[in-house]
Structures are given as C-alpha cells and as structure tokens.
C-alpha cells in the first residue's frame, strides 16, 4: 500500500548525493498565495483623509490584526501538535528500531540459508539495507522536521523545500488510529508506523518490509525519472481524486512479504496456503499476529495463493497473471492503476 500524506513540502536530494537537486518547480497547490493588503491600498491612505474613509481604514486595520492573531494562534497550535508527536515518536522509534533490527537479523539469516539463487537473495535483502542506512539519518523523526520548518517560517501557507543528503533517507511518522497497517508516502518520503508494533509479530514486521520496498522503489524513481514527470504524478492530487498505485511495485512488495513470511515460518506459510487452508487462526498461530489483523491475513492468503499458482512469478520476475490479479485487487479497492514504464508512469487500461 502507498499513501499520500498531504501536509508536506517538496523533498529533494542534495546534489552531492548524486540525486540532483530538484526544483524550483512545485505543484500548483504548493505555491505561496499572493499577499493581500487587507483592503488598504496606498491610494486609500493618501486621499482618504475624510472621517468616513478614515474609519474604514481603521476597521480594515482591525480586521488585519485579528487575522494576524488568528494566524499566529494557528501556527502555535500546529507547533504544539508537532512537538507532542515528535516526543511520542522519539520514545517509540528506538523501541521499533531495536525490534525490527532483531527481525532483520533473523530474516537475513533465513534468506541466505534457505534460498540458493544469489539474485533472489540480493533482492530480498534490499528492504533491510534501506532500514539500516536510514539509522544514519539524524532527521528521521518527521515531526521534528516539520516543527523546525514551521518555527522558521511561522506560516501555515506555502511550503518549504527539504533537501535530504542521502537518496536512501526517509522520514518516520506514526499512523493514526484508523490508518492502514503501514503506509509509505513517496511525495513526503514518510513511512508511517503503527504505535502498537510488536517485534515478535511476523505480520507487523513483514508489513514494514513491504513499505521499505516502496522506499527503495521511490529512491530509484527519484534518481532516474525526470522531475517534470515524477512531480505531477506524486504531488498531492486535488481533493476527491482517487489514489494511484503502480502495479509492478505493489506486486513486488507483496512477493517480498510472502517470501519472507515463508522463510521465517520454515515453509509452513506456503504449505498452509497451497493446501488451501483458509483457517485464519492457524495462520495467526504461525505469524503470531493479533486477532484484529485477521482481515489483513486473509488478504495475504488470497494474494499468496495467486502467487504460488502463477508459475512465472518469482522474486526475480512478475508473471502476467499475477500482475493482472494485483491490478484487479486494487481496482476493486478503488485505486487508479498505473504501471512504470521507460518514460515514467502510464495508466493501465482495462
Ligand atoms: Zn504497497
């Protein structure tokens, strides 16, 4: 799953990193609005010496003061909100990183001992490498970045441009109550984590692994697709627009998730799926997942059974059948389906 996380600025890579600094073009939504003069023009003040016009000027000044106060209150409220979330994430992040590191260690061991094809091993290890690199990102608390940016700009209007020194770096934020299990917003380069992450829960871990694959895909896109193509596709869409997914990206993220689930359960996951066992409690037992995650598990069983039945789909390549299945799954969930081609992104017609 990918998700647009809207209230954010343009994120670019520094020239040093080889990603090339992008901009200054931005999505129209991000243009700073023209400054209004609260209805007082120079002409009013010069010729409006009369009492009536003067009163009008005072009234207009009053409106402006009220506006400024409202705006600065809104900025203050937002700063307080970012600050609260930043502290919350500062507490959560070390616990998450320690838990996921331990999982990554075990997964790497299982992948390298159980899978013989070096190309497949290489591709399955990508998300763990991305995670490890991002530990060196001193600004990975996304709320801290937003707070410092707002402290500098003191305005909720317009946007800023953030430059990341390493194209592999990304930000973390916490998901809200009703949010999906995990999400990565390419535009803001933000991976959202659930506060109830359980390091012993294989589903929690593989959901994060799926999102880390999306980070890797975005790294690739940002450094290879022209900004003029990348930007209009990923920048926030007008309200009411359907969210977009890239078929091949979702397919490979699911393959990663399924393969890791299988090696980490010593092949039990595949055995259950291919035996057409649909008893979710059985899977809950081997994944150590929570009952509230049963619908996610059911979805994975469905996807995995298609995956195992599609002979041309492997961690090295996605077969046409499996790709069509992934497209259909997302169409039914209301997404607009795109594919990644040599020029960038192209809609997939039914
Ligand atoms: Zn996804």
Distance 254 CA to ligand 1 centre (A): 7
Give the tens place of pLDDT for each residue, 75-125: 999 999 999 999 999 999 999 999 999 999 999 999 999 999 999 999 999
Distance 325 CA to ligand 1 centre (A): 14
Distance of CA 144 to the CA centre of its chain: 17
Distance 34 CA to ligand 1 centre (A): 38
Which segment of 19-28, 144-153, 183-192, 299-308 scores lowest on mean pLDDT? Answer: 19-28
Q: What is the pLDDT of residue 55?
A: 62
Write the DSSP string, 259-281: HHHHHHTTTHHHHHHHTT---HH
Give the confidence band of 140 by pLDDT, cuts at 50, 70, 90. Answer: very high
Give the confidence band of 180 by pLDDT, cuts at 50, 70, 90. Answer: low
Distance 324 CA to ligand 1 centre (A): 15
Bridge partners, 256 (sequence order): none
Counting every residue written for the chain, the total comes to 350
Specify the residue for token string 């441009």: 161
Distance 184 CA to ligand 1 centre (A): 8
Q: What is the pLDDT of residue 112?
A: 96
Mean pLDDT of the residues in the chain: 85
CB 210 within 8 A of CB 253: yes
Distance 336 CA to ligand 1 centre (A): 13
Of the two residues 181 and 132, the one the predictor is more confident about is 132
Give the tens place of pLDDT for each residue, 195-249: 999 999 999 999 999 999 999 999 999 989 999 999 999 998 888 999 999 999 9
Distance 272 CA to ligand 1 centre (A): 23
Distance 220 CA to ligand 1 centre (A): 16
Specify the residue for token string 């159980």: 114
Cα three-residue angle 80-179-294, rounded to 5 degrees: 145
Distance 116 CA to ligand 1 centre (A): 26
Give yes or no for residue 174 having a pLDDT over 50. yes
Distance 23 CA to ligand 1 centre (A): 27
Distance 26 CA to ligand 1 centre (A): 25
Question: Mean per-residue pLDDT for 15-43?
Answer: 36
Distance 79 CA to ligand 1 centre (A): 31
Q: What is the pLDDT of residue 2?
A: 55
Residue 190 tokens read as 């933000």
Give the tens place of pLDDT for each residue, 302-319: 999 999 999 888 888 899
CA distances from residue 224 to 142, 189, 230, 310 in whole angstroms, order as listed:
25, 16, 9, 30
Distance 271 CA to ligand 1 centre (A): 24
Distance 244 CA to ligand 1 centre (A): 11
Phi, psi of 197 (to 5 degrees): -50, 130
Which spans in the chain are helix H? 42-47, 51-114, 118-134, 142-153, 202-224, 227-234, 247-264, 268-274, 280-287, 294-309, 320-332
Which segment of 59-68, 183-192, 205-214, 297-306 scores lowest on mean pLDDT? Answer: 59-68
Distance 50 CA to ligand 1 centre (A): 66
Distance 194 CA to ligand 1 centre (A): 15
Q: In sequence order, what are the residues at sequence separation of 6 or more whose Cβ sits closer than 8 angstroms to the Cβ of residue 55?
A: none
Q: How many alpha carbons fall within 13 Å on the CB side of residue 167?
A: 17
Which spans in 243-340 are helix H? 247-264, 268-274, 280-287, 294-309, 320-332
């Amino acid at each position: 799953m990918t998700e647009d996380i809207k209230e954010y600025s343009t994120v670019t890579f520094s020239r040093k990193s080889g990603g090339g600094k992008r901009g200054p073009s931005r999505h129209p939504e991000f243009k700073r609005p023209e400054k209004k003069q609260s209805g007082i023009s120079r002409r009013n003040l010069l010729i409006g010496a009369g009492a009536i016009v003067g009163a009008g000027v005072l009234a207009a000044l009053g409106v402006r003061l009220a506006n400024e106060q409202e705006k600065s209150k809104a900025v203050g409220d937002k700063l307080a909100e970012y600050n609260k979330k930043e502290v919350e994430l500062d507490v959560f992040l070390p616990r998450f990183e320690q838990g996921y590191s331990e999982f990554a260690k075990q997964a790497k061991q299982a992948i390298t001992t159980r899978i013989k094809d070096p190309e497949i091993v290489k591709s399955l290890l990508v998300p763990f490498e991305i995670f490890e690199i991002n530990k060196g990102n001193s600004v990975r608390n996304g709320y801290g970045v937003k707070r410092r940016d707002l402290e500098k700009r003191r305005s909720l209007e317009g946007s800023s441009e953030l430059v990341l020194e390493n194209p592999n770096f990304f930000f973390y934020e916490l998901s809200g109550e009703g949010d999906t299990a995990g999400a990565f917003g390419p535009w803001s380069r933000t991976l959202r984590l659930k506060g109830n992450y359980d390091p012993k829960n294989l589903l929690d871990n593989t959901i994060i692994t799926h999102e880390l694959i999306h980070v890797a895909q975005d790294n690739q896109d940002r450094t290879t697709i022209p900004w003029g193509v990348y930007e209009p596709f990923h920048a926030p869409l007008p309200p009411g627009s359907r969210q977009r997914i890239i078929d091949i990206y979702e397919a490979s993220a699911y393959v990663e998730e399924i393969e890791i689930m299988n090696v980490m359960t010593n092949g039990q996951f595949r055995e259950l799926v291919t035996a057409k066992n649909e008893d979710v409690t059985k899977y809950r037992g081997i994944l150590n997942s929570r009952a509230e995650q049963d619908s996610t598990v059911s979805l994975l069983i469905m996807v995995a059974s298609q995956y195992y039945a599609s002979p041309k789909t492997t961690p090295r390549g996605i077969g046409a059948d499996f790709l069509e299945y992934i497209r259909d799954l997302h169409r039914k969930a209301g997404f607009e389906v795109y594919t990644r081609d040599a020029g960038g992104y192209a809609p997939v017609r039914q």
